[in-house]
Amino acid sequence: MQHLARLLQLAGLTIPPLAMVAQLMNRIRAGQMLQFLVVAVCLFSAGYILQVYGPRKS
């Protein structure tokens, strides 16, 4: 479960820079960039919640 949590957090940290670069290159609109940022926050939060409140290794 910890690996899934870390993967979600990594995805949440990777999406914002990619979205900003795409917006700066005029490949996406600002509204789409904001949607990507919201998804990234949700992914990171889900990973954090899984990491903190999920089953722990003994």
Q: What is the pLDDT of residues 11-52, one digit of tens each?
A: 999 999 999 999 999 999 999 999 999 999 999 999 999 999
Q: Is-contact 43 15, C-beta < 8 A?
A: yes
Confidence grade of residue 54 (pLDDT, cut at 50, 70, 90): confident
pLDDT for 55: 85
Confidence grade of residue 58 (pLDDT, cut at 50, 70, 90): low
pLDDT for 56: 78
pLDDT for 12: 97
Q: How far apart are CA 21 and CA 41, in angstroms?
A: 17
Taken in order 33, 47, 13, 6, the sign of the CA dihedral is negative
Give CA angle at 23 (19, 28), nearest 5°: 90
